[in-house]
Structure 1
Amino acid sequence: MVDYVLSLLRNGHRGPIVAMSRRGLLAKPHRHVDALQIDETDVPFGASINNLLRWLRDRIDRNATQGVDWRSVTDGLRPYTQRLWHELPRASKRRFLEHARAWWDVHRYRMAPEVEVRITQALDSGQLTLMAAKVASIEPNNTGARVTYRRRGDANPLEMQVGAVVDCNGIVKDPRATLNPAVRSLFDRSLARVNPLCIGIETDRNCAIIRRDGTASRCLFAVGPITRAAFWEIMATPDIRNQCAALATFLVDTASEDRPNRMSASDC
C-alpha cells in the first residue's frame, strides 16, 4: 500500500486516497539501530505461537528498560525466523496467519525514514486516510466503482464511490489463483501441490517441489516467495541469496552422487 501511494503522489495525484484494511494498520518507521545479539539457545523453537509471542514481548519489554529499541530485538530474531516457522506446529502457523501476521508485518517490514515523512505528510493533510474496514462488494460503474464496506466493529454497511480500486493484499495468497502459466502448468500436470495453509506451493527443506502424490521432485526446485510455505521469511534479497546458495550446494552434491546413473524425464 505504501509503495502504491508513493507512486500516486510522485505522478501528481491530487485526489483523496483511502487505504482500507481489516485492522487499519500502517507499517512502522525504520530506525538505524543495531540488531540485538540473541543466543540461539534462548530462542523457544517448537513452542506454540502463544508462548513464542509471549517470549518475544517479554524480550522487547526487558530490553526497553535498558534503552534498547524494539527494532533491535525483531532484527536480532531474523537469523532464526525460518527455523522458527519450520518448527512451529501447524495449528500455531494457522493461528499466526489469522490473528498475528498483520501485526508482525507492520513491525518487520518497515518504512524508510524518508518514506515515513512523505506518508505522514499525506496523512496530516488529509489526502491519505487509513480505515479499519472490510470490503463487502465492488460494483464497477462509469466513473470507477461503488464500494460497499463495513467499518471494524460496526455491522452497518456503508458505500463509497471511488475512481479505482487497487489490491495491495500482498503475496500471501493461494497460489492456485495465479495467472502465471508456468505455475498453473505445474498444478495441471500434477507436478506441484499447495501446502495445507494455502500460502505457497509445497517444497521440502532442499527446495524440491512436492508433487501431487506427495513425492519430492528430483529436477524441479523453487526459490523465493513462492516457497514461503516452507521458509516464511523468503522475500528479502539476503534471504533469497542464501536460499539460492544452499540450493546450488545441494544440487552440486546431488549431481556428484547421481553421476553414475542417468536420470530420465520420468524422474521429474
Structure 2
Amino acid sequence: MLTASRAVSKAGLDAVALKPAECDVRRALDIPLDIVAIDYEGHHQIPDAETLETLTAEKEVRLTTPVRADGFDPLGDDSLYEWLPDGIQQVLVAGHPAYLTDEEKGRPVAPRLGAARERAPDAWVGTEGIERIALAAGGTQYELLSRSTRRDVRALRAAGFDGEVALYAPTVLTDDEDEILDAVGAYISRRRPVARALPDGASTDSSAEGRAREVLVKAARDYALIGSVADVRRRIDELRDIGVDLFVGYPARGVDEFVQ
C-alpha cells in the first residue's frame, strides 16, 4: 500500500493549497510537493513571518493577497507588502467577500490588479469571478476546476494564450462515496449549477440520499479531483494534455491525507 505522501506524488499534483485556519501550514514541509499555496482567510489568519521564512527555505511559497484588502491594496494601504518576507511569491485575487469589509468590497478590482502585477510580475492571478480582468492582467492564470475547464482551457490555447494555467481543485484520494461527500459535498453544493439542481433543504454530506446524492456524486467529478491515485493521475494527465500546466490540490479530508 502506498503511504500518503507517495500517493500524492504519484497522483501528479504539483502543489498543495493549505488553509491556515485549518492546519499549521508548516506541515507543508512534510508534503512531497515543491509548491505551497496559502489561502487568505482574513488578516488574523496570515501565518507569521517566522513561519513563512521557514517554508521559503525549502518550498516555493505563494501567499494569496486580495488586492482590495487593507495592507495589500497597491493603490491604498499597502503596509503588508513591506512586511512579506523575502522569497514569498503571491497569488493576486479580488478577495472573497467573506473576508472583506464593506468598504474593501466596494473598491474597483481592475486598477488594483494591474498595479499589483507591476509590483509582482511573477504572481499568479486568481480568476474566480474576474476572468476577463485576470486575463487582461496576464501572468499565470489560477483557475478553479469546474465542469467547463476543458472547454475554457482549450479556448484559451486556441486563442493564442501561451502563459501558464494553474488549476486548483479539492482533492480526495478515495473512491468511497461517503468519504467524498463528507469532504467536498458542501463545497460542491455552492457551485451555481449544482445548487440549482439540488432539492431544497437537501443534505450535502454522506447522509445525502436520492436525487441529492446522485447530483452531488456526479458533480464531485466536475469540481474536485477524486478517486484512487490512478484515477486522479489519469484526470490530471488528460487536463495536462489540453493545456493545464500546474495542479494545486487542496487536501479536502485534512492535511494528513497528503502527509506521510
Do the two structures share a fold, i.e. TM-score over 0.5? no
TM-score, normalising length: structure 2: 0.26
Is the radius of gyration larger for structure 1 or structure 2?
Answer: 1
TM-score, normalising length: structure 1: 0.25
